[in-house]
Amino acid sequence: MQEIDIIVVGAGIWGCTVARTLAEKGRKVLVLERRAAPGGNVRCETDAESGIEVHTYGSHIFHTHLDDVWEFVNRFVTFNGYQHKVLARYNGKTYFLPLGLTLVNQFYGLDLKPSELPAFIAKEAGTAHGEPSNFEEQAISFIGRPLYEAFIREYTRKQWGMDPKNLPASIIKRLPVRASYDLNYYPDYRQGIPLTGYNSLFERLLDHPNIALECNVDWLEWRRTTNHELPVFYSGPIDALFGYKYGPLPWRSLRFETERIDVADWQGTSVVNYTGADVPFTRIHEFKHYHPEQKDVMAHPSTIICREYPKTWTPGDEPYYPVDTPASREKLALYQAEAAKCPNLVVGGRLGEYKYYDMDQSVGRALAVALQFCGR
């Protein structure tokens, strides 16, 4: 492909979806990726000894209720139907998340029925005095102080690096409390991991004659040496795009500590959260559990686990999570105003929009923006 109509910066799930959609509309697309391979933070590596698909940047489970998104991704890969369940370790015991009958009955030593749970939770939460003004007040008004202190307070403090009292109430408003024994972490019935691995999804998305991929290319350096007036779809950090002229946005980064253990099954599930302050990491991943259909991998006498440590982002770190506060929203608005001044620029994805999107949300937004650009 010699001619180029459009540049897509970043080969994560947003960028690859944009590129594929534009290519199918007849546009010639150049995808520039800073890393050595496409996939963004969903990139995986297969362990040569055990065959385990290791999620390099933390666990990713595809789940959605969006029909168009599910139809789109299933054009490229088939999912194995894995249903995500999360356990939590607190005070030497293991509990099932999310908050529902299983956890509440075990934690309180009760035998509540579904019809009895709402009244019990309301009693534990007590009567709120005014509208909750921060994360902690909102959480306690939802589930009461004992459950909040056991499963949310210290985990949140580790995850976001600040006192929950200093986080906005909006972060916790999606917290599900289920009056059932449903142990599925996500309510979406469409869930799974690609049977052929996540890397195959990105390879197939980019496998089109109208798409060219160049890796190990830093867009911010590339544009300084290349003159062009082409439209650009950018999915990197929006503050980096403008040279941090208003200062860096607050991000949370992660550090991963991976270990091979010579047992076939170390923790019995894919993810266990550690909610107490006595443990410095937030969770442990055991990757082989994402592919229960791979019987030889499941039976292999070794396993791979990964401890996940949140950390404050500093220049040079990978940004993972936007920190939503009034101050960060004000700074984000300044960068969005800069982007609006650029007529050939579209900024998207989790990093570009500074939004905590799930994968299906990123795909949905990518489809929408690419189709809008092409006039459908």
Torsion, CA 294, CA 296, CA 301, CA 302, rounded to 10 = -40
**Does 317 qualify as catalytic in the annotation?**
no
**What are the residue ranges of helices labelled H in the chain?**
13-24, 67-73, 101-108, 117-125, 135-143, 145-151, 153-160, 198-205, 219-225, 238-241, 295-299, 326-340, 349-353, 359-373
**Does 178 qualify as catalytic in the annotation?**
yes
DSSP state of 243: T
Q: Which two tokens stand for residue 179?
A: 């009056």
Type of residue at 62: F
Cβ density class 346-376: b for 16+ within 10 Å, e for less: bbbbbbbbbeebbbbbbbbbbbebbeebeee
Among residues 20, 27, 43, 178, the one annotated as catalytic is 178
**Measured between alpha carbons, how far is 243 from 361 in angstroms, rounded to an integer?**
27
Among residues 53, 203, 308, 353, the one annotated as catalytic is 308
Contact 365, 14 (CB under 8 A): yes
Among residues 181, 189, 244, 356, the one annotated as catalytic is 356
**Does 283 qualify as catalytic in the annotation?**
yes
Among residues 3, 71, 111, 174, the one annotated as catalytic is 174
- Cis peptide upstream of residue 98 (ω within 30 degrees of 0): yes
Among residues 116, 124, 182, 358, the one annotated as catalytic is 358
**Does 43 qualify as catalytic in the annotation?**
no
Among residues 190, 283, 350, 365, the one annotated as catalytic is 283
Collapse the DSSP code of 60 into the 3-class scheme (helix H, G, I; strand E, B; otherwise coil) and give the result: coil
Which residue from 239, 264, 363, 296 is spatially nearest to 51, judged by alpha carbons?
Answer: 296
Among residues 252, 274, 286, 290, the one annotated as catalytic is 252
**Does 308 qualify as catalytic in the annotation?**
yes
Active site (catalytic) residues:
174, 178, 252, 283, 308, 356, 358
